[in-house]
Amino acid sequence: MGRALQPGLMTAPPFIDARGITKRYGPITALDDVSFELRPGEVHALLGHNGAGKSTLVKILSGLVRPVSGTLTMAGEEVTLRTPQQAQQHGVALVDQELSLVPALTVEENILLGNVESPFLQRPGGSRAATREILDGLGLRHVAPSTHVRDLAIGERQLIEIARALSRDARVLILDEPTATLSDTEIEHVFRAVRQVVAQGRSVIYVSHRLGEVLELCDRASIFRDGRHVETRAVSELDRRGLIELMLGDVPEPSQRDGLHEDAGEVATVTIRNLSVPPRVQGFDLTARGGQIIALAGQIGSGASEVLRALAGLVPDAQGDVSINGKDVRLGSPRRCVDAGTVYASGDRKGEGLFLGHSVQLNLVATRLPALTRWGLVRRGAAASVARQLIDVIGMDRKRMRTPVVSLSGGNQQKVFLGRCLEQHAAELLLLEEPTRGVDVGGRMEIHDLVRVAAAHGNAVIFASTELDEVLDLADTIVTMHAGRVVRTLPRRLATSAEILGDMTHGNSESRAGVAA
Amino acid sequence: MSSVALKDPRRTRELARTSAPFLILALMLVAFYVLPQLSGREATVFNVFNSMQNFAALGLVALALGLTMIAGEFDLSVVGMYGLGSMLAVMTGKDSALLGLGIALLAGLFVGLVQGTIIAKLRINSMPVTLGGYLLLLGLTATIGHDDSQSYPNLSVGSSLDSVVAQIFSLRSLVAVGVFVVVTLAMRYTRLGRDIRAIGGDRRASRTAGVPVDRMLIGVFALSSVLSALAGALIAYSLATATPDPGLAPLIFAITAVLLGGVTLAGGQGAALAIAAGAITLSLLQELFSILGTPTYVSSLITGGLLVLVTIIAAPDLKQWWRTVRTRRGGPTASAASVGSSPAATVTGER
Amino acid sequence: MTAIALRVNQLLDRRSLPVAQLLLRVITAAFAAILVIGALTTEGFLSVDNVKAILGSTAFVGIIAVGITVIMLSGNLFSLSLGTTTAVCAMLFLFALQAGIVVAIVATVALGAVLGAAQGLLIGSIGANAIIVTIGAGALQEGGAVWASGGSAVFPPKNAPGMSFLADTILGVPFAVYVLVVLAVAGEYLMRRTRFGREIYLMGENKRAARAAALPIVALTAGAFAVAGACAAIAGVLIGAFNQNASLLVSGTFTYDAIAAALVGGSVVTGGRGSIARTVAGAVVIATISDLLLLRGYSTGVQILVKGAVVLVVVVLLHINQREGER
Amino acid sequence: MSSNSGSFDRLWGRRRAVAVAAVIGAAALAGCGGSSSNSTTAGGAGTTGTGSASASADAGGGAVKGKKVVLVACGDVNPWCKVYNQHILDGLKAAGVETTYLQDPFDPVLQVQHLNQAIAQKPDAILVVASDDNSIVPAANKAKQAGIPLINLNGRPADAAVPLLSSSIAADQAALGTYAAQNIIQGMKAQGKTSGNVIAITGTAGTNTTKDRITAFKKELATVPGIKLVEVQDGNWDQVKTAKIAQQLFAKYHNDIQGAYGMADYQAAGIIQSAEQAGLKLGVENKGLIVTGSNCFKVGIDNIKAGKQFGTATQAPGTEGDFVYPLVLKFLGGTEIPKENLNKEARVDKSNLDTWGAPCSLA
């Protein structure tokens, strides 16, 4: 359980004192009048679901994002952080959730990269000894500082990222989901490093979904929900259930909803056998039936999205036996997979989904132009009527038909995107990655309804999600994944939130932190 | 994570990649020596000198372009600045060559800073910006030079720049070599090299890591323009002439040399020394053409083919394309082991 | 320098974006004012004949620019070999006239399309960089043309059958202008109404999304370059007929002029935005400015200088404007 | 799979095949080109003049046999240059001279590299068609220091180069300008006019060739006071650009133009096309615009035959080349030749097409 608090910790003046921080992204309020303080020598956990506001706070503290309002005091001095360099000068080092390593550079170069105190003149390999020491401390004995980061495995990269933060000798070390892609031994190394840091009187902000880690490592925890700060408590006062209660607001009872379509069809429509997606996923098996909604629940790096991308034909070297309605699908080409009846909706809505500058109408019909074309000409009437049909299905105002998608809210953008992917008559298998990422609560409900309707029409739906709520709310069958492998497959009505959370965050090692459900 | 076991092939691949430009240069040297003899001619030390003269002019332009490519951008205006640099040096350096050189370099600095600021701060694609810049500089060069080639009366400047040093060098080519040495050292022994490669490799990651991305970008464009202006000024003094339009030949040379030097268009990779190797290779090739008296159309076929070939090899999706082709042609043979006796292996697919 | 940087930073700040828009309007207005004042005070500018002259000088560049716009819309930057393709096609056209005018035109357009498609295939399938592939392809075309023609200029055969209409005027306006208008209308129709056009727009807007949505990226890229090559070939036919002789000297400054026209028309090199109609407008604007400068006696250098400045200003301002639209 | 996407796949397949074929073809072409170039140069270098024609026996016969000459000139990309250079090379080879031909498509930097390369080969003479009047000066200096005779061809050399040259063998550019003016004067006279507006669209402004021609043109035109040269514009030796400018000038002067000078025949052709498009009448018979060129190309001869162009002047590439090589042979044979040799040019109009029609149709 939580460490005993160091004497004087509660009374020492806070190193970081943030008051009334508010941040909006368009219509979404990511942080709403949040206050937060960090004391010297503590490991402070930030807890909450995806979208609760933790990452936004972290970005503000590290100068990547500027708040709309609020004050930030560091070491008693009010500061405005415009750039990551300024945050660094104030002693903040960040390990971002998204890796900020440059694959084309070597390990050593990456560790030195962006360090404002690194000298102008450098010798190649000049800091090799120091680098070596940090790497060794993180259990990376086998990694040479001259290795290119592009040649490292994902877990190793994560540790390099941590090594960089450690090398900066910062007053505050922010670790945003540092362990999502790590193995147990690797996690142990991270823990040791964190303990060393705080032993020197420095502080660590630790963002994690993994409650066991929080209980084991952290002194205090601040819990966030829907962009608001709920509470800050000493971890020693809390147990796992208490944390979950604070995070969820209340503990939802399982089986609020029956697995609607669990028994909808007798014939398996989609079988996946021995799917491998280099470099992470091995031996993935799954059978999905029409009408069924299957969740692939797992953290970033679990392999869930890789499975979807492979099934969509977007991974050239993915292999495995996939058949839809008895017809075999050869992976590796989006065209072939679409022709076989798969539809994929990427989680990266802006980068890989929508055509932002174009109208709602064109976005809605973008993938079905072949069917709407005669003699090479797009039949405008038909296209318009299909678009009208779809815009009605997703419940948007028809007046917005000609609006560029870029000017819509995130929720509406996602509806347009999914509207395009759902309702494909030919489709048999819907692959949805993070279907409600960046969508507010209202939009989320509507999108979930859309997915259910699609399933009711007989499509098999597989979605990948990192969000517990979404998994529990939407799925008939839950497949939890960790580190590229399936942990467990169980029907929704038998699943509890604690169990799923446990599987997603601990993989097979749930006993490690002693918090088996 | 068996990175220990995999280390060796990776190292080999890396070594092959970084040493390719030098291997090509070695091959070129062999060809340079052998090919003339096959047609009853010979390559002399003077030919090496002459190649280095060409390197002195266009190698610097290649370096200018190459640095922006390493940083993940593309400076089409190098050839415009090359022209303007030569015109300014000739027009303002009549009394003092150094003054003319200084003015050319300052103009380069200014142009680079302006273009760099627009590109970095407004985050506009460098291609259209530098294309506009190219046209503008070209117009400016012609306007300053009254649409005419301008002669530089002080021939002694050029002849001292071009006098032979150590058989194969001239003062001018030594300046170019010196610039390459300085840039190589700076890329290797200061944090600049790392930062330039970082912003070319992954700009978002670099920003997050704390690299002053905008400042670096502006600096790279400034350096690119200054180097182009330097190349222009030196060649102008050497020819004792500045022309109102340098044509596209310097740009084509620079692009080919940079690609031969192993710089990829995706950015993040490349070294000044390798660019030098690429530029020297190409200079030797041009000299080889001239030793053999190759007709223009043959040399343009060869250089065009070379450019397309290098681009194909450097294309980002080549591997992926090849894999796709292979799976389409050969079907699942490659995956037979994992497929086992499942029905997928026997079905030939949907066509 | 810092002051400038600060200004630019302010421009980027959300609150001062109206300033950017204001700047856009001011510059546009200033430009229009200069044009109007210039037009009023320049002898011979405001006349029907001069309007015809401007249209006539827009034609060839405009036709090539129509093609280059399709490339830009497809998200593949631009081609630097279209000028050479034009010259090569002009040569082939005059040569092929022996076989009759119809055969000559069809063969020439086919050659242009094939040359373009070959480059497009390379670019689409393995992601090769468009600029460099097209530079290399330009050199190959040039070398190939000299090799095939033996370096001589190509002349139409004696009694060239029915070619003269290509260089004639209809109602005082050169035939090429009508071709441009037809191509622009057809191009707009192609891009707006056909599946090919719509998918080009989509691919140019977001190539990754296009791939995920299983659009035929290779075919679209090859198609875009083929259209551009065909446009260059049509320009080649007209230039061949107009010049009555053809050699590589024809290529001139077409490539850059066409790119400038598309940029001034507001096409975005990274794809998805812009239109053929706007490109033609851009070509007319450039031709008008060049005409004005010529009539006022400015040198070639100044004309290029102004062209570059207009391109630069339009690129920057449109970018600012577009960013604002996305907020 | 739907038939639709099937056809798409076939389309891909076909297009890829085309691309592959194109690439292979290009490679093969490059290969052939390379080898053929080798054989050409080897042949050129190896020609020892066995059984050489005594076409130029007057130039010292056997004395020139085996002498080496390097020609540094604009390349085969330019049709005029190709014929010109070919005539010079053929003439020299026939007399047993070993020739090397280094081509630069009007690229001064490449040309100087070639000149330096030529100097290093220590030939008996270097012939150069300057890509840029000024930029050959330093190389000329080097040639002088190395004691290698440098002979300038075609255009008037830069003043600074004159003392460094052994000789200059050029077209009489001034005469070409004068003849052009005479063409306009005569054409207008034939229509009974002694006054009118004239425009001139030149080659690349600022080069000696252009300067010499336009100066002489102006001077000759000034002999008839009523004829006014209202506009001189830079047409950059570019037919399309020339046509564009002409069209705009016609508009500017409301078609009140009686004479037009296109510095090369193809530029004159551009003017003629523009005039036709602007609805102007052409030629003496139609009492229309008098157009002249000043160096002859096939397109100009055709236009003269058709009555659209009044005349031109020679500088026919073959004739010019044939003027050059006997002088070079003489020089190689040890005979002094004058510092400046200007070819005798001729005014060409309908009356002497029999003489000039053929030699002027080579480019």
How many residues appear in chain B?
351
With CB atoms and an 8 Å threshold, state whether B142 touches C256: no
With the C-alpha atoms ordered D307, D309, D311, D317, is the resulting torsion angle positive or negative? negative
Helix (H, G, I), strand (E, B), or coil: what is residue A456? Answer: helix
- Confidence at residue D1, expressed as pLDDT on a 0 to 100 scale: 34
With CB atoms and an 8 Å threshold, state whether C50 touches D252: yes
pLDDT in tens, A119-140: 788 777 677 888 888 888 888 8
With CB atoms and an 8 Å threshold, state whether C155 touches D298: yes
My answer on whether D139 and D178 are in the same domain is no
Q: Which two tokens stand for residue D322?
A: 């044939």
CA separation, residue D172 to residues D175, D178, D209, D343 (Å): 5, 10, 9, 6
My answer on whether D158 and D210 are in the same domain is no
D342, D315 Cβ separation under 8 angstroms: no
Please tell me which of the candidates C195, C272, C326 has its beta carbon nearest to residue A370. Answer: C195
Distance between CA atoms of A367 and A363, rounded to whole angstroms? 8
With the C-alpha atoms ordered C302, C308, C312, C315, is the resulting torsion angle positive or negative? positive
Give the architecture-level CATH label for domain B10-332: Orthogonal Bundle (1.10)
- Confidence at residue A425, expressed as pLDDT on a 0 to 100 scale: 62
- Confidence at residue C161, expressed as pLDDT on a 0 to 100 scale: 65
- Confidence at residue C19, expressed as pLDDT on a 0 to 100 scale: 63
- A-chain CB neighbours of C270 within 8 Å are none
Number of domains in chain A: 3
- Tell me, yes or no, whether D211 lies in a domain: yes
- Tell me, yes or no, whether A452 lies in a domain: yes
- Confidence at residue B176, expressed as pLDDT on a 0 to 100 scale: 95
- Confidence at residue B215, expressed as pLDDT on a 0 to 100 scale: 93
With CB atoms and an 8 Å threshold, state whether B121 touches C122: no
Q: Give the DSSP letter string of D279-344.
A: T--BTTTTT-BEEE-SS--HHHHHHHHTTS--EEE---HHHHHHHHHHHHHHHHTT----SEEEE-
DSSP A490: E
**pLDDT at residue C6 above 50?**
no
- Tell me, yes or no, whether A406 lies in a domain: yes
- D-chain CB neighbours of A339 within 8 Å are 1-2, 5
- Confidence at residue D28, expressed as pLDDT on a 0 to 100 scale: 38
Distance between CA atoms of D188 and B330, rounded to whole angstroms? 78
Residue in C with minimal Cα distance to D249: C295
Distance between CA atoms of A108 and A118, rounded to whole angstroms? 12
- Tell me, yes or no, whether A347 lies in a domain: no
Report the neighbours of B using a cutoff of 3 or more CB pairs below 8 angstroms: A, C, D
The answer, for A425 touching chain D at a CB cutoff of 8 Å, is no
Task: Centre a 10 Å sphere on the Cβ of residue A36 and count the other Cβ atoms it contains.
Answer: 23
D residues 3-32 closer than 8 Å to A (CB): 4-5, 8-9
My answer on whether D269 and D288 are in the same domain is yes
My answer on whether A411 and A466 are in the same domain is no
All residue ranges of chain A with pLDDT < 70 are 1-11, 26-27, 50-51, 125, 248-268, 423-426, 440-441, 505-517
Distance between CA atoms of D3 and D13, rounded to whole angstroms? 15
Distance between CA atoms of A46 and A51, rounded to whole angstroms? 12
- D-chain CB neighbours of C49 within 8 Å are 250-251, 254-255, 278
My answer on whether D163 and D192 are in the same domain is no
Please tell me which of the candidates C138, C146, C319 has its beta carbon nearest to residue B124. Answer: C319
Q: Which residue, among B286, B183, A443, B90, has the nearest Cα to D111 in the 3D structure?
A: B286
A235, A260 Cβ separation under 8 angstroms: no
A87, A94 Cβ separation under 8 angstroms: yes
- A-chain CB neighbours of C216 within 8 Å are 335
The CATH number of the domain holding residue A225 is: 3.40.50.300
- Tell me, yes or no, whether D268 lies in a domain: yes
With CB atoms and an 8 Å threshold, state whether D1 touches A370: no
Distance between CA atoms of C114 and D26, rounded to whole angstroms? 14
The answer, for A326 touching chain D at a CB cutoff of 8 Å, is no
3-class SS letters over B161-210 = HHCEECCCEEHHHHHHHHHHHHHHHHHHHEHHHHHHHHHHHCHHHHHHHC
With CB atoms and an 8 Å threshold, state whether A369 touches C195: yes
Please tell me which of the candidates C147, C219, C239 has its beta carbon nearest to residue D240. Answer: C239
With CB atoms and an 8 Å threshold, state whether A355 touches C202: yes
Q: Would you list the domain boundaries of chain B?
A: 10-332
Residue from C206, C217, C318 to probe the interface with A (highest A Cβ count within 10 Å): C206
The CATH number of the domain holding residue D337 is: 3.40.50.2300
Residue from A335, A373, A375 to probe the interface with D (highest D Cβ count within 10 Å): A335
- Confidence at residue D42, expressed as pLDDT on a 0 to 100 scale: 32
- Tell me, yes or no, whether A1 lies in a domain: no
pLDDT in tens, B51-66: 999 999 899 999 999 9
- Tell me, yes or no, whether A2 lies in a domain: no
CA separation, residue C216 to residues A257, A334, C188 (Å): 42, 9, 21
My answer on whether D24 and D100 are in the same domain is yes
Report the neighbours of A using a cutoff of 3 or more CB pairs below 8 angstroms: B, C, D
With CB atoms and an 8 Å threshold, state whether B343 touches A321: yes
My answer on whether D187 and D85 are in the same domain is no
- Confidence at residue A10, expressed as pLDDT on a 0 to 100 scale: 54
Please tell me which of the candidates D26, D76, D120 has its beta carbon nearest to residue B44. Answer: D120
- Confidence at residue A426, expressed as pLDDT on a 0 to 100 scale: 61
What's the start-to-end Cα distance of chain D, in Å?
Answer: 58
My answer on whether D21 and D95 are in the same domain is yes
β-partners of residue A388 are none
Query: For residue C36, what are the contacts with CB-CB under 8 A and spacing of at least 6?
Result: none
Distance between CA atoms of B242 and D139, rounded to whole angstroms? 15
Domain boundary (A201, A220, A248) is at: A248
- The fraction of chain C above a pLDDT of 70, given in percent, is 91
The answer, for D2 touching chain A at a CB cutoff of 8 Å, is yes
With CB atoms and an 8 Å threshold, state whether A334 touches C212: yes
- Confidence at residue A423, expressed as pLDDT on a 0 to 100 scale: 66
Distance between CA atoms of C259 and C77, rounded to whole angstroms? 10
With CB atoms and an 8 Å threshold, state whether A116 touches B210: yes
For residue D336, what are the domain limits?
A: 3-171+316-348
My answer on whether D216 and D325 are in the same domain is no
With CB atoms and an 8 Å threshold, state whether B350 touches A84: no
pLDDT in tens, D58-113: 444 557 888 999 999 988 878 888 899 999 999 999 999 999 999 988 888 889 99
Helix (H, G, I), strand (E, B), or coil: what is residue A102? Answer: coil
B206, B38 Cβ separation under 8 angstroms: no
All residue ranges of chain B with pLDDT < 50 are 1-6, 330-351
The answer, for D309 touching chain C at a CB cutoff of 8 Å, is no
Q: Tell me, what amino acid is at C138?
A: G
My answer on whether D202 and D155 are in the same domain is no
Q: Tell me, what amino acid is at A83?
A: T
Distance between CA atoms of A498 and A210, rounded to whole angstroms? 11
DSSP A397: -
Query: For residue A322, what are the contacts with CB-CB under 8 A and spacing of at least 6?
Result: A270, A271, A272, A273, A275, A311, A328, A329, A331, B344
Q: Which two tokens stand for residue A264?
A: 């909808």
With CB atoms and an 8 Å threshold, state whether A369 touches C199: yes
For residue A406, what are the domain limits?
A: 360-424
B residues 308-337 closer than 8 Å to D (CB): 308
ipTM here = 0.84
Domain boundary (A248, A264, A292) is at: A248
pLDDT in tens, C218-267: 999 999 999 999 999 999 999 999 888 888 887 778 898 999 999 999 88
Please tell me which of the candidates D37, D42, D158 has its beta carbon nearest to residue B295. Answer: D37
Number of domains in chain D: 2
Query: For residue B322, what are the contacts with CB-CB under 8 A and spacing of at least 6?
Result: none
The answer, for A318 touching chain C at a CB cutoff of 8 Å, is no
- Tell me, yes or no, whether D356 lies in a domain: no
Angle (nearest 5°) at CA D73 between D71 and D76: 110
Q: Supply the pTM of this predicted model.
A: 0.86
- Confidence at residue A505, expressed as pLDDT on a 0 to 100 scale: 67
CATH of C2-326, one of 3.40.1350, 1.10.287, 1.10.3470, 1.10.357: 1.10.3470
The answer, for B85 touching chain D at a CB cutoff of 8 Å, is no
C residues 168-197 closer than 8 Å to A (CB): 193-196
With CB atoms and an 8 Å threshold, state whether C325 touches A407: yes
- Tell me, yes or no, whether A263 lies in a domain: yes
Q: Is D351 exposed, middle or buried (0-12, 13-18, 19+ CB in 10 A)?
A: exposed
Distance between CA atoms of C307 and C302, rounded to whole angstroms? 8
With CB atoms and an 8 Å threshold, state whether B241 touches D104: no
Average of per-residue pLDDT values in chain A = 81
Residue from A342, A355, A405 to probe the interface with C (highest C Cβ count within 10 Å): A355
Distance between CA atoms of D154 and D158, rounded to whole angstroms? 12
Residue in B with minimal Cα distance to A105: B198
My answer on whether D114 and D24 are in the same domain is yes
**pLDDT at residue D44 above 70?**
no
β-partners of residue C170 are C173
Q: How confident is the model over D128-152, as a mean pLDDT? A: 91
Q: Is C1 exposed, middle or buried (0-12, 13-18, 19+ CB in 10 A)?
A: exposed
Q: Which two tokens stand for residue B117?
A: 């600021």
- Confidence at residue C105, expressed as pLDDT on a 0 to 100 scale: 95
pLDDT in tens, A147-159: 888 888 777 888 8
The residue written with tokens 């002094």 in the block is D336
With CB atoms and an 8 Å threshold, state whether D120 touches B46: yes
